[in-house]
Amino acid sequence: MININNSSNFIVKYKESWVEEGLLFIKQEFCEYGDLFDFMETLEENNFKFNIDFFWDLIFQMLSVI
């Protein structure tokens, strides 16, 4: 089983979950600065020049917290 309460500062923390009227609700911590999609959009809006090294670094960071 995977521990969903990983101690990384880069993972949204799981708070609780429950089922209500047949629907699953999952409560997570609030992401004050948005999610990865928001981050990438902000970079694009600021004309950030994406390159392969950027994406490899991003992938490495995501995998290193598992």
Position 1 confidence tier, pLDDT thresholds 50, 70, 90: very low
3 in a domain, yes or no? no
* pTM: predicted TM-score of the whole model, two decimal places: 0.50
Report the number of distinct structural domains present in the chain. Answer: 1
Q: For 2-58, what is each residue's pLDDT tens digit?
A: 555 555 666 678 889 999 999 999 998 888 778 888 889 999 999 999 999 999 998
Q: Where are the alpha helices (DSSP H) in 1-66?
A: 36-45, 52-63
61 in a domain, yes or no? yes
Domain housing 50: 27-66
1 in a domain, yes or no? no
10 in a domain, yes or no? no
4 in a domain, yes or no? no
Contact 51, 42 (CB under 8 A): no
